[in-house]
């Protein structure tokens, strides 16, 4: 089962152990909302990888709602405009999306789920356009970086950055220049009736993005296998070590640790951590008490 869990994102699938509980929660929300479907916000135009992650996690029972910025997603969940938000947290090649970690600190929302998505970039153009016809390529700046080797082999192309990959596909679909192409997903090509002329042009096929699902309430009952938290320590030698020692002494596996500057306090840092434990479980309370003693600030982002 662990092998299947690892392989699933490679073929565009996920192994969802909480599917039945998730379906029950979505059904209950639909009854609460009356005739309207529960909703989840994602970043950008339909056809982005965030849109795909939203649909893959929730399925057709939850309406996917487009939002222009990460902050607008958090605001929509906070105000109750939508039930959930789906935001990227990190990419296996380019690292963490720090803006969303900062928003998790700022907003009183919870991470209630996660999804790993295999990112496959395609070269997309008008039907009938050939590779030798292309003069200009539109896409997100990060997509250009991830397809660097392919683009270097076509050094005469003009690269035009836009806000997201789906916007790039939408722009060429409404334009009159048949020499324009875009880098994006196969879903975006289908939505805007464009054609994939080169598949899988990313330099490294081990390109994955981890998305977090945020909400106000958990989707299912615990126990949970993973938790995310933020903490800060005193500014003295060994303070971080004392916190990490709590994990080690209690056989808790730390799967991610990253520092972020504290706004307004130069050269002081918060630490973002993912641990393989349910930090909100009753059995974890003694460990949590010790962590509170060893930290200046501690916030649980969620268990899932």
On whether residue 221 sits in a domain, the answer given is: no
On whether residue 54 sits in a domain, the answer given is: yes
**145 in the same domain as 284:** no
- Residues 129, 131, 137, 141: is their CA dihedral positive or negative? positive
Instruction: Encode pLDDT of 156-167 as tens digits.
Output: 999 999 999 999
**144 in the same domain as 274:** no
On whether residue 25 sits in a domain, the answer given is: yes
Nearest to 117, CA basis, from 198, 214, 51, 191:
51
pTM: 0.86
On whether residue 164 sits in a domain, the answer given is: yes
Q: How many domains does the chain have?
A: 3
Residues 6+ apart with CB under 8 A from 159: 136, 137, 139, 144, 151
Q: Is 101 helix (H, G, I), strand (E, B) or coil?
A: helix
**211 in the same domain as 76:** yes
On whether residue 81 sits in a domain, the answer given is: yes
pLDDT of residue 14: 75
On whether residue 158 sits in a domain, the answer given is: yes
Instruction: Encode pLDDT of 249-258 as tens digits.
Output: 999 999 999 9
**255 in the same domain as 183:** no
**101 in the same domain as 150:** no
On whether residue 222 sits in a domain, the answer given is: no
Q: Which domain holds residue 15?
A: 2-118+207-215
Contact indicator for 283, 264 with CB cutoff of 8 Å:
no
**89 in the same domain as 39:** yes
Residues 6+ apart with CB under 8 A from 238: none
**261 in the same domain as 158:** no
Cα–Cα distances (Å) from 77 to 38, 49, 51, 85, 218, in that order, read 12, 20, 16, 6, 13
**26 in the same domain as 56:** yes
Please determine, for residue 33, whether its predicted confidence score (pLDDT) is greater than 80: no
pLDDT of residue 275: 97
On whether residue 168 sits in a domain, the answer given is: yes
Please determine, for residue 34, whether its predicted confidence score (pLDDT) is greater than 70: no
Residue 262's pLDDT band, with cuts at 50, 70 and 90, is confident
CATH classification of the domain holding 248: 3.30.70.260
**211 in the same domain as 87:** yes
CATH classification of the domain holding 176: 3.40.190.10
């Amino acid at each position: 089962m662990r092998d299947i869990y690892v392989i699933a994102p490679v073929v565009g699938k996920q192994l969802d152990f909480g599917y039945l509980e998730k379906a029950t929660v979505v059904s209950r929300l639909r009854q609460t909302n009356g005739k309207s479907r529960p909703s989840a916000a994602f970043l950008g135009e339909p056809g982005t990888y965030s849109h795909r992650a939203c649909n893959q996690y929730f399925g057709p029972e939850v309406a996917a709602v487009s939002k222009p910025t990460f902050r607008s997603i958090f605001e929509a969940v906070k105000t109750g405009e939508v039930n959930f938000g789906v935001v990227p947290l990190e990419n296996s090649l380019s690292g963490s999306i720090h803006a969303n970690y900062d928003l998790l600190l700022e907003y009183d929302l919870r991470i209630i789920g996660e999804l790993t998505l295999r990112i496959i970039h395609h070269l997309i153009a008008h039907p009938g356009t050939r590779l030798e016809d292309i003069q200009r390529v539109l896409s997100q700046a990060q997509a250009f970086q991830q397809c660097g080797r392919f683009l270097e082999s076509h050094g005469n192309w003009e690269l035009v950055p836009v806000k997201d990959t789906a916007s790039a596909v939408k722009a060429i679909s409404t334009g009159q220049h048949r020499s324009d192409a875009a880098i994006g997903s196969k879903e975006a090509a289908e939505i805007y009736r464009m054609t994939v002329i080169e598949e899988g042009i990313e330099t490294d096929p081990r390109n994955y993005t981890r998305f977090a699902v945020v909400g106000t309430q958990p989707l299912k009952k615990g126990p949970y296998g993973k938790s995310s938290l933020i903490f800060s320590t005193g500014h003295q030698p060994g303070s971080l070590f004392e916190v990490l020692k709590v994990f080690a002494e209690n056989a808790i596996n730390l799967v991610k640790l990253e520092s972020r500057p504290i706004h307004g306090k130069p050269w002081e840092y918060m630490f973002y951590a993912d641990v393989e434990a349910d930090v909100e479980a009753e059995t974890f309370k003694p460990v949590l008490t010790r962590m509170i003693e060893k930290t200046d600030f501690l916030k649980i982002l969620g268990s899932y």
